[in-house]
Structure 1
């Protein structure tokens, strides 16, 4: 309790000991003695998953410039990636939608920076200022990375083997780079 008599403070979100990956728990002999759900990456061809939830219409809405938003494609690619690893049922569709929308907006801002440049004119003084698309792009990139790490943490915590290889985050970067080349 604070000096003024109000109840504030306490544990902060994200504070405390971070969760260990499943592979680390297995290597240490399951110190908590709880039942561990093990997902094996080698036999993913035999798994039968659930149908992919349809992405909302807003993820493929036509934008003001006439282009279609690519968020539904990012959503589908990410969901398929999760399904191949047997983790699609562990990730909420809303989390995937937020990730896909954030990644699509990041790509959209980067395309605007490519088209209009890094500088803009100040509305009152006329001096050169940083383009607002640069700051928006940085914010969306940060948000996209946070959401991806949240998704990847779910995969990491529920995987019995070490995973390395391509992931949908790499595909988003490839899409961004190909958009700059005009493809």
Structure 2
């Protein structure tokens, strides 16, 4: 608390040591001694029932003003299947998954607009300027990366499967985030 009685400063979000993955804690013998919550599918395989994917909301399927298709539904489905592969689909909030899907879809839409209209635009006075699609694409990429790291952190901390090999070349989401568009 400051001298004037207001709460200012304090811890920054995301500051500090990052938590270890559960597989690392298991390998090191759980030095802290706290009980570990492990999502393991092997011991409960006979008792598990399939859980349906939450339905895709209508705003994620809407047509764009220019008539193009928004890929949010496809990205949502692929991301859900990716989470299900690691047994973590129930740990990620549906809203985060929806935001990630919409952000990636908007990023793709901006990249398509850049391909169609180019990197530059003409100002009213005739001088060149950067296309607004380039700026929007940059912002959407930052948002997508931030949301991806939130989702990845949930998988890393809770999956009993080793997650070092998540950079599969067959994974469309990984290709999108790691590509140099």
Give the TM-score normalised by the residue count of structure 1.
0.85
> For 1:8, what is the secondary structure of its paired residue?
coil
The residue that corresponds to 2:173 in the other structure is 169
Q: Match for residue 155 of structure 1? A: 155
**Corresponding position of 1:79:** 80
5 Å matches for 1:1-183? 1-40=1-40, 48-123=49-124, 125-163=125-163, 164-165=165-166, 166=168, 167-172=171-176
Mark the runs of 5 or more structure 1 residues left unpaired by the alignment.
Answer: none
How many Å separate the matches in 1 of 2:44 and 2:60? 28
Structure 2, unmatched stretches of 5+, are none
Q: What is the root-mean-square deviation in Å for CA atoms of aligned residues?
A: 2.6
Contact 2:73–2:101 under 8 Å retained in 1: yes
Moved segments of 4+, more than 4 Å: 40-47
8 Å Cα contact 1:49-1:86 kept in structure 2: no
TM-score calculated relative to the size of structure 2:
0.86
Give secondary structure in 2 for the equivalent of 1:89: coil
Structure 1 window deviating more from structure 2 (71-80 vs 29-38): it is 29-38
